[in-house]
A and B are shown apart, each in its own frame.
Chain A
């Protein structure tokens, strides 16, 4: 089954404790992105990648890091999480980033206390 898998689904952590949210896709897509969803703000792009070793900042990259060492994986790293990073996070992949749209993962709900 074609899918984007992100883990964990739920995470509660403390301020300053480094964490990684993993993301993997099995569709051989070149394009991958991370989004966060907050009430009233919709989905905001954090980082995106158009290919292996190619990443770029989205709208809200501060406090996040990503890497794209393999085509299928695109982990999101929070080096020092803060409470304002409490949010619902989605990883997504796309064939071309345009008319074919993104396939999204099921989301990771992160709470930073």
Chain B
């Protein structure tokens, strides 16, 4: 039972444009939401997080939006750069170290 879902396995955008990666969850007990980036042959790297008391968190080119009523979060990357090409995982936690991950979305940023 996948409690965190990333329905788009891949996304391709042009350099300089906005990348929007989406994630849906089913468990209303999740309080913390995170995005990770993964390059081949490396472990995932933590990117940005948001708690359920907020609806937006920004860090440089990366912004995460949370819509609790829709159980939906998204990651916006503006402007997208070729170095952003990677697999992005959405994750959620109820605060008890039980962190659930989505299946990932492969982002390709074309020069």
> Which of B32, B50, B95, B101 touches A43 (beta carbons < 8 Å)?
B101
A104–B42 Cα distance when bound, in Å, is 9
Q: What are the residues of chain A within 8 A of B98 when measuring CB–CB?
A: 45, 48, 58
A-B contact pairs, 10 of them (CB 8 A): A41-B2, A42-B2, A42-B6, A45-B98, A58-B98, A97-B99, A98-B95, A99-B51, A103-B46, A107-B41
Known: A42-B102, A106-B41. A101 touches B97 (CB 8 A): no
Q: What are the residues of chain A within 8 A of B43 when measuring CB–CB?
A: 4, 90, 92, 104-107
B89 at the interface (CB under 8 A from A): yes
B28 at the interface (CB under 8 A from A): no
A90–B69 Cα distance when bound, in Å, is 32
Are B97 and A97 touching (Cβ within 8 A)?
yes
Residue of B nearest to A105 (CB): B43
- Chain A residues near B (Cβ < 8 Å): 4, 31, 33, 35, 40-45, 48-50, 56, 58-59, 90, 92, 94, 97-107
Residue of B nearest to A44 (CB): B101
Are A98 and B104 touching (Cβ within 8 A)?
no
* B77, chain A: closest CB distance, angstroms: 17
A102–B44 Cα distance when bound, in Å, is 9
Q: What are the residues of chain A within 8 A of B101 when measuring CB–CB?
A: 35, 42-45
Q: What are the residues of chain A within 8 A of B18 when measuring CB–CB?
A: none
> Which of B6, B32, B36, B103 touches A99 (beta carbons < 8 Å)?
B32
> Which of B34, B49, B97 touches A31 (beta carbons < 8 Å)?
B97
A44–B99 Cα distance when bound, in Å, is 9
Are B95 and A101 touching (Cβ within 8 A)?
no
